[in-house]
Amino acid sequence: MKGRTIILDQINGHESAALMVDGILEDLLVQGDAPSPGSIYRARADRPVKGQGGMFLSTPDGPAFLRQVKGLAPGTMLLVQVTGYAEPGKALPVTQKVLFKSRYAIVTPHAPGLNISRAIRDEEERVRLLEIAHGELGESPFGLILRSSCAGADAGEIAEDVAAMAAMAGQIMADDGTTPEKLTDGDGPHALAWREWTAPAEVVTNPGGFEDHGVSDALEIARGITETLPGGGHMYIEPTRALVAVDVNTGSDTSMAAGLKANLACARALPRALRVRGLGGQISLDLAAMPKKDRRGFETTLRASFRTDTEDTALVGWTPLGHFELQRKRGRVPLSEVLA
């Protein structure tokens, strides 16, 4: 099946959204049981963590952990936003840099200034969008980023979106409550699909859409540890408690360049494989054997692949054993938890 299709459905009672591109599951969003990234809390500072520069906070949904804080006394009330999903038994990761995101706009209360996405290069379009931004937030102390999805979009729709986000930001940032409370939920998968998957696509909302459009079959593959690579190779993706291990195998290819070809194929396929499985944290790649002189080409390909990925991923580098390590944000629900 050619083209882009967005399917809104459920997996085992969890709200879910899938993006199919030319018959391949390109992205998957699943609602977890834990608070969604983007949720905003009024939280109370509990106790500092010596040596880590962090602070445990109290929220209605359990403890949260705030990194890199100075001068924050226990008992202080503060606004924080969930940045990702916590590992089982660990505190929610949160930040004080609260953002208000929608399809066209990101309102930034802690970073004033009006900005246009650098992906929009047309000068006339940038001027048009800047006029909209000034019209809506010209006198506001909040900052604004107009996203790449604004390119060619209707001015009225953009202005309405900006106004709604600014109103929400104003209401929440003015909060003066004195007890821990959840102030707003993060977007669920269906809302996230509308917000983030902005390229033209067919949208399917009928119940059973996952079965009808091949998503269920793709999920069966994602449940396993094997991912077939172009050229006959394979990579094996195995989550452990400490990290995600990725092993690259050349398969039946016995040529001199087999290792390099399999590793480059892994570099191109890895972001999608991690997205649909909902995997993050520490990731260690045990690559197929290749000459050291080819490492730079592999890194270049890997960096280009992750540049357009939706989750922040740091390319850490090579280990003495020749493994390559990544650190990836835990922004998704692991598929293994949903399909267990």
Whether 249 is in a domain gets the answer yes
Q: How many domains does the chain have?
A: 4
Using CA atoms, how far apart are residues 82 and 148, in angstroms rounded to an integer? 24
339: pLDDT confidence band, cut at 50, 70 and 90? confident
Pick the last residue of a domain from 55, 70, 97. Answer: 97
pLDDT above 70: residue 64: yes
Task: Give residue 63's domain range.
Answer: 40-97
DSSP string, 269-326: HHHHHHHHHT--EEEEEEPPP--GGGHHHHHHHHHHHHHT-SS-EEEEEE-TTS-EEE
- Global pTM reads 0.90
Residue 62 falls inside a structural domain: yes
Looking at the fold, whether 137 and 115 belong to one and the same domain comes out as yes
Using CA atoms, how far residue 132 sits from 136, 157, 158, 162, 251, in Å, is: 6, 10, 8, 9, 55
In this structure, the answer to whether residues 126 and 61 fall within a common structural domain is no
- Based on the fold, state whether residues 166 and 90 are members of the same structural domain: no
Whether 219 maps to a domain, the answer reads: no
Letter for the amino acid at 225? Answer: I
Q: Are residues 70 and 137 in the same domain?
A: no
Do 309 and 244 fall within a single domain?
Answer: yes
Q: What is the pLDDT of residues 8-45, one digit of tens each?
A: 999 989 999 999 999 999 999 999 888 999 999 999 99
Tell me: do 198 and 252 sit in the same domain.
no
Confidence of residue 72 (pLDDT cuts 50, 70, 90): confident
**What would the mean pLDDT of 219-241 be, rounded to a whole number?**
92
Evaluate whether residue 268 is within a structural domain. Answer: yes
β-bridge partners, 105: 146
Q: Is residue 184 part of a domain?
A: no
Residue 182 in any domain: the answer is no
